[in-house]
Structure 1
């Protein structure tokens, strides 16, 4: 393979460029490089050259630039949103971005030009130092040498390149460049200064989302609840999209303390979007109460099963998320939940153990039937077989029509079903690495037939695969992206089967599995922990901040 050619940097900066490339390749060098110098010394031009070449397809691994943010006019929050999108992670805050990068041990090189021109250079400096806490992150930051931020970064364990020093310039090439440089250079125009009515949802949905974000950060007013909703979902709202799609995201992030006119107004603005917001629950809501971070979701019998970060499993009404009760015993570090038609709730914990709980709303046998049915149920036998096979190594869980499905850390998916009152099992390896999520449904072939069980498996390898027990899995993935799967849901609606996929970069995809194969997308602006689909066709999306119910438009 022919090595990509790198053009020369402008202004005779070949010595500086060579030093930057050597720093990138030196595993023993400090992981922070501070490029300083006076105004007009060529700092931004040098880093623009590095970014242009380091982001090309096919560039050598040691010279690859993975993320960059020109910081002029940016805040730490907007910079974090930009980097999260470029690095294919979901993050609402600088802290969440740092946590996401810490969890991904791959080498990551980030370039931050124009720190001195940021909206709040001090907070952006704190973001840079926070990212450096991950030992696989390398950072190149530009800051004028006479600024506090340059002094702070230079005092850290860093390599410092001061472009005012002669060693970083080839004088002959500089002279050649200067001779052809225009003498009447135009001053760069300032950013947009148009006023934006931050109280008007139509105005903020149609305006430059980065300007809206920065102005909401500056503002001390709540703007009827729009400010809190925007900053809660800003990582999504700043993406390229139509005003109608932006209105859906903003409505889904509104708290119940917002101006009561806003939900209807935003619903009107969302006309033409792929989604309608049926209801939403946001951290801090009291009418009905927010059910906590939705770490796991399931849907059955008109109720939603929601497990939070403390293992409390709540039941909510599917229609409006009003509380129906909770399971009597929490399951510590609940990872996945699945509801059965009989009213049992299966819970998988982070240690790979399977638990069963009885829903408080499920009917209970009484009298003679209770005496006659005191032996192990078909579900009991399936669980016993699964526990014996997996012994605490389960990572993902699904249940559908007497089919219990478990995924493990090696990429294998195990299916357990009953035949002649005896459990039978099937297993196949579907992923390189851990199984992250499972979903199952039964495809109807004929009105009087049993249907075909179909399992969808999502992995840390970024693939979603389909498999029917006792058959070979499909050779090609149903879906593949360069980031892990975080959640799956599948069901059969009146319009046909539907599959929902949550990804580590915060994307939710809704696939109709018919001939049209329509795909709808939704970005909640936060890491997606859980999904559920109802028989009525609605999609539930769970994050640490929100639980939202969407209907395809």
Structure 2
């Protein structure tokens, strides 16, 4: 069933691993038509999923007739898949691998749990090196070292090098001016990596985080209120907090002496020492903001309309589009690098992109689970956070 759910979720631009999660994602959006079935899908699984999705009447389900010339993949078709062999798994048909792991009881050195965690990414059409990279990021802590080594060899041709991955629930990420990453967890805990202890903030259910000075982190909670963690409050942060107490925000960023806030109507507000600058930049809610002050104030904005835009508070205007996709933007972060500001962006369908200064090529990565936060470090590394894991990647 997982393979069918993942395929449908990829088709619809959402992240889901079970029929219930898929239904929940669909109920959160407008009514739509969902097409199920077709070549390679198990008719029994398709029928079961169709019944679940039809139950609430929010979606119109169309079941396509199976293609008789395209048989359904089964675990034993075209010879058995050696699900204990990391290199073989990365090169095999992902639908068959998924079915084999669903039917298996053995963890196979951690491969099974890693595949079932990251399967929505792995089931996509891609080369074995990229699959190996994703599997490495999803391995459990007690995975067999030989599996880790085999996946590292297979991932050597991927465009990313995985530097670290571990269990760590993430709600938001930011980076202090000195380059240290800061992690905010869903319960409001804040930790400076790599060795800082967890400190409880006044925020609960954190939505966004932004560094404001060497020792100050601003947090936006799920109600759109501003919280300060560490450092000393300033007249600016107090004014922004008072404003958001009356008019809740939906996204947050900070750079130098400017605090940026998005709202549910698609507008971005820049609070600074020279006053308030604002612009209507998105159709629908602003979901993510990013800013850097080096060499000058640069702002990127993201929304439920799937657009990432560049905006200059001083110049006003509506901004130009950096990237446009059909899924809502869920996270943005900008980091100053020696070549200029680098931008990390993530969307609700699980895609992360890294836009590097002076480069036309955009590097993509899909961890499998839904992405909650991203951050770029001054040395060009990329942090990717999900509800369960934190991953550090570096472009090759």
Structure 2 CA distance for partners of 1:188 and 1:244, relative to 1, 3 Å: closer
How does the TM-score come out when normalised to structure 2? 0.91
Q: 8 Å contact 1:327–1:358 — kept in the other structure?
A: no
Q: 8 Å contact 1:466–1:473 — kept in the other structure?
A: no
Structure 2 CA distance for partners of 1:541 and 1:189, relative to 1, 3 Å: closer
Structure 1's unaligned 5+ residue stretches are 1-75, 145-185, 283-290, 318-322, 360-376, 445-451
What is the aligned residue count? 390
The residue aligned with 2:384 is 541
Matches within 5 A, 1:187-226: 191=73, 192-226=77-111
Q: Deviations over 1:23-61 (max 9, x none)?
A: xxxxxxxxxxxxxxxxxxxxxxxxxxxxxxxxxxxxxxx
Whether 1:509 aligns to 2:334 is: no
Whether 1:460 aligns to 2:304 is: yes
Structure 2's unaligned 5+ residue stretches are none
Q: 8 Å contact 1:108–1:136 — kept in the other structure?
A: no
**How large is the RMSD of aligned CA atoms in angstroms?**
2.4
Matches within 5 A, 1:62-101: 76-101=1-26
Q: Which has the higher strand share?
A: 2
Deviation at 1:298, TM superposition (A): 1.1
State the secondary structure of the residue aligned to 1:271: helix
Distance 1:143 1:478 in 2: 40
Whether 1:250 aligns to 2:93 is: no
Distance 1:261 1:436 in 2: 41
The residue aligned with 1:440 is 291
Alignment partner of 1:404 out of 254, 259, 279: 259
Distance 2:71 2:264 in 1: 54
The residue aligned with 2:172 is 296
- The structure showing larger relative contact order (alpha-carbon pairs under 8 Å, at least 6 residues apart) is 2
The residue aligned with 1:492 is 336
Distance 1:187 1:128 in 2: 23
State the secondary structure of the residue aligned to 2:175: strand
Largest Rg, 1 or 2: 1
Distance 1:143 1:187 in 2: 12
Deviation at 1:126, TM superposition (A): 4.6
The residue aligned with 1:471 is 315
Q: 8 Å contact 1:112–1:139 — kept in the other structure?
A: no
Q: 8 Å contact 1:92–1:525 — kept in the other structure?
A: no
Matches within 5 A, 1:342-421: 342-358=214-230, 380-390=234-244, 391-419=246-274
Distance 2:23 2:31 in 1: 14
Distance 1:494 1:429 in 2: 32
Q: 8 Å contact 1:443–1:453 — kept in the other structure?
A: yes
Q: 8 Å contact 1:415–1:427 — kept in the other structure?
A: yes
Q: 8 Å contact 1:101–1:134 — kept in the other structure?
A: no
